[in-house]
């Protein structure tokens, strides 16, 4: 038989446990006292948009999400062999303002570059617009290639971008879809692509900017650059064209020198494709009437020495056509930024874009 003191102790312990359980239940179930501040709920992080396949694009795997305003999709398309990335920068208020639609800027990277090059230009992360950075290939030249049977297989970059990526973005994001709220901007190889796309599809793009662009295919030096990329002969043009180490590993596998634009030699009209897609040709520039045009270039080094010549040729022809434009040849870069030496690099392109993007934002804001 248990002694009274021991029984008393067990009874007291049970009472304490019961009381503790009762207090715990009250703390969980009862509302906070009026003079006791409630614990704030953890902030909800807005989810990134969910994209639906379409327009010939099929997503592969889950998006790579760096933040709710910076994500990268991987897609396949019948227009290109392999998988390809599309990086997207959303405005900070995109999720918080679900009733608002936004202008869109397409940024085209340079040769031997990738969609991640855009990170080297902070101005592209604008809170006034969506920025889309589609893969352009190491040497895609933003063209539908003449040869589709090289080691690289299908290579219809122009169709991929203008016929698939643009409508895919418009279908999946809250965009303003008229040309006055859509821009195409590119540098180096992408400068060629930007001017070419603006001429090819003036119905899509109301604004264009080309930075240090290979924008005159009439120049032997620029034709030679295209050939160097086809033959995978990395040189100065490639050396400082990306946002990484400043050195590129090459332009990918060797392909025939006629693979993209056919024969480059001006003999018996053999180079007719080069002439037809030359952004500096007067007939093509005439298509930019009514388009907001900006051209930037330095003039230093073995690359921008020639992009300056090409840019000034385009400027002269636009003047002759009476087409307004803004052209900035910043020479050695001293008037642009302390980081710019006038060469073919992001030390110049980042501040050039920092100069251009606010102008583009203002143009978007005043567009009807």
DSSP 244-256: SSS----SSS---
Distance, CA of 211 to CA of 102 (rounded, Å): 24
Q: What per-residue confidence (pLDDT) applies to 153?
A: 98
Residue 12 within a domain: no
Residues in the chain: 368
Task: Name every residue whose Cβ is closer than 8 Å to that of residue 135 and which is 6 or more positions away in sequence.
Answer: 84, 85, 86, 114, 115
Q: What per-residue confidence (pLDDT) applies to 47?
A: 79
Q: What per-residue confidence (pLDDT) applies to 133?
A: 98
Residue 242 within a domain: yes
Query: In which domain, by residue range, is 129 found?
Result: 57-366
pTM (predicted TM-score): 0.87
Q: What is the pLDDT along the chain (368 residues), one digit of tens a residue?
A: 444 344 433 443 333 333 333 322 222 222 333 344 555 555 454 578 999 999 999 999 999 999 999 999 999 999 999 999 999 999 999 999 999 999 999 999 999 999 999 999 999 999 999 999 999 999 999 999 999 999 999 999 999 999 999 999 999 999 999 999 999 999 999 999 999 999 999 999 999 999 999 999 999 999 999 999 999 987 756 654 555 545 567 899 999 999 999 999 999 999 999 999 999 999 999 999 999 999 999 999 999 999 999 999 999 999 999 999 999 999 999 999 999 999 999 999 999 999 999 999 999 999 97
In angstroms, what CA-CA distances link 83 with 146, 152, 345?
Answer: 21, 12, 27
Q: What per-residue confidence (pLDDT) applies to 41?
A: 54
Residue 45 within a domain: no
Residue 289 within a domain: yes
Reduced to 3 states (helix: H, G, I; strand: E, B; else coil), residue 57 is strand
What is residue 269's DSSP assignment?
Answer: T
What total of structural domains would you count in the chain? 1
Distance, CA of 281 to CA of 277 (rounded, Å): 8
CATH label of the domain that carries residue 341: 3.40.50.1820
């Amino acid at each position: 038989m248990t002694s009274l003191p021991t029984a008393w102790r067990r009874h007291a312990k049970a009472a304490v446990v019961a009381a503790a359980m009762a207090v715990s239940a009250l703390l969980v179930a009862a509302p906070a006292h009026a003079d006791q501040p409630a614990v704030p709920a953890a902030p909800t992080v807005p989810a990134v948009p969910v994209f639906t396949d379409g327009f010939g694009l099929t997503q592969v795997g889950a998006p790579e999400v760096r933040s709710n305003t910076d994500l990268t999709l991987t897609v396949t398309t019948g227009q290109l062999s392999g998988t390809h990335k599309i990086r997207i920068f959303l405005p900070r208020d995109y999720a918080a303002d679900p009733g608002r639609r936004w202008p869109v800027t397409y940024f085209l990277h340079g040769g031997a570059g990738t969609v991640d090059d855009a990170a080297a230009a902070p101005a592209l992360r604008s809170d006034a617009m969506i920025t889309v950075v589609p893969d352009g290939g190491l040497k895609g030249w933003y063209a539908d290639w003449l040869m589709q049977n090289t080691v690289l297989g299908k290579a219809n970059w122009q169709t991929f971008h203008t016929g698939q990526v643009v409508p895919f973005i418009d279908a999946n994001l809250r965009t303003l879809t008229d040309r006055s709220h859509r821009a195409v901007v590119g540098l180096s190889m992408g400068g060629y692509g930007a001017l070419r796309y603006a001429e090819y599809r003036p119905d899509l793009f109301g604004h264009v900017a080309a930075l240090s662009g290979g924008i005159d295919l009439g120049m032997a030096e620029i034709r030679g650059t295209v050939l160097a990329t086809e033959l995978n002969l990395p040189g100065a043009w490639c050396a400082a064209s990306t946002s990484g180490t400043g050195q590129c590993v090459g332009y990918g596998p060797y392909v025939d020198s006629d693979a993209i634009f056919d024969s480059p030699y001006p003999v018996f009209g053999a180079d007719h494709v080069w002439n037809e897609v030359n952004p500096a040709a007067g007939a093509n520039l005439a298509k930019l009437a009514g388009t907001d045009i900006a051209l930037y270039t330095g003039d230093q080094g073995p690359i921008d020495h020639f992009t300056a010549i090409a840019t000034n040729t385009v400027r002269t022809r636009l003047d002759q056509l009476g087409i307004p434009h803004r052209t900035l040849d910043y020479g050695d870069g001293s008037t642009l930024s302390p980081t710019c030496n006038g060469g073919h690099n992001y030390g110049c392109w980042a501040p050039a874009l920092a100069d251009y993007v606010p102008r583009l934002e203002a143009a978007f804001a005043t567009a009807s």
